[in-house]
A and B are shown apart, each in its own frame.
Chain A
């Protein structure tokens, strides 16, 4: 690391969003840059709330560092294979230009209360969703399912490596493309990869349906593969772990934290495996997070019908249904199971 100039940024306030486009639900993210602001790569991945560090390892970080140094030593000859790492021009140059974040200043208040002056990274995701919602539009998949893990396309990558395939999910887009366990993905969409975050960057920017060109190292060979992603490919992602999903719970569930009931508990409640059974793990008490409570919902209720739908769905699928089909101000009829009885309630959407 002493071959790098090391900078620690602790605030989202004033962040240059034309340069720093990353998964804003992370609390730890790394950029490898040239002094001219060319991005060599990113590091930092998370797919779980409880196991915050299972997706990153020291070994993987070291390999990303080594890769960045190689790119730097050969720069600008390597410009072509990192050019795609800068994102499109952002809607707003800095986070505090988002309508819902205008209360924040571009700098932190170390003289007064630094915490209240400090914008959390995840608030950028919140602001993006609030903006779309305020325009009364369905949330696009890219905004609802940001920074997909490679698992979504069937690739389990080894966190101890840069982008090495540990497992390919049978029947997945990755298997159809010809990926095999042990493959090292060297390029994806002509971008050199330093980490799983770099793979996520390509996936994040892929279209609703996409063809992604990959070059993998397989033994001594370089193999060209094409990853074909069908319409709706992102929807396999689980976003429930994300801090920014807390605000989705306000917008889509009136403050309820929901969990798909496991099969073992379903049988005890007389629910089959194909039916909706969303258990209310928590219910908000204040502001718009108390909408569900004020509408008569309670902790430990089980949602068994939502807006006429009774098919099994996860909390993420529930978010998607509401955020892509319902508008603020609408009311959703719901059936809940409480103490063995079915109760009809209506949830107003903020």
Chain B
């Protein structure tokens, strides 16, 4: 559990470092594709997150990520 959290959080923090090799258009679209293919994440839909959190009794973790 601890190890899994470390991997998740590491990926999350590393995602904050810009990938200079890509233009922003590509980065935004790749980010969308990556997150939408990840069952653990809800992409750009706060209301859906709020509904699921209410139904499952979980707190929300909302990451605001401005793709540079």
Q: Interface digits, A191-235 against B, CB 8 Å rule (1 contact, 0 not)?
A: 000000000000000000000000000000000000000000000
Give the distance in Å from the alpha carbon of A78 to the alpha carbon of B10 in the complex. 29
Q: Interface digits, B35-68 against A, CB 8 Å rule (1 contact, 0 not)?
A: 1000011111110111111101011111111111
CB distance from A101 to the nearest CB of B (A): 14
A246 in contact (CB, < 8 A)? no
CB distance from B46 to the nearest CB of A (A): 6
Cβ of A108: which chain B residues have Cβ within 8 Å of it? 44
A2, A7, A65: the one contacting B45 at CB < 8 Å is A7
B25 and A115 form a contact (CB under 8 A)? yes
Give the distance in Å from the alpha carbon of A58 to the alpha carbon of B3 in the complex. 12
Interface size grouping (class) on chain B: 35 or more
Interface size grouping (class) on chain A: 35 or more
CB distance from B25 to the nearest CB of A (A): 5
A35, A62, A121: the one contacting B64 at CB < 8 Å is A121
Cβ of B31: which chain A residues have Cβ within 8 Å of it? 10
Cβ of B52: which chain A residues have Cβ within 8 Å of it? 5
Give A residues with C-beta under 8 Å from B.
1-12, 15-16, 20, 22, 26-37, 40, 44, 52-53, 56-58, 61-62, 65, 68-69, 71-72, 108, 110, 113-115, 118, 120-122
**Can you give 13 A-B contacts (C-beta < 8 A)?**
A1-B61, A2-B40, A4-B60, A7-B49, A27-B16, A28-B63, A32-B60, A34-B59, A37-B50, A61-B12, A61-B13, A115-B25, A120-B66
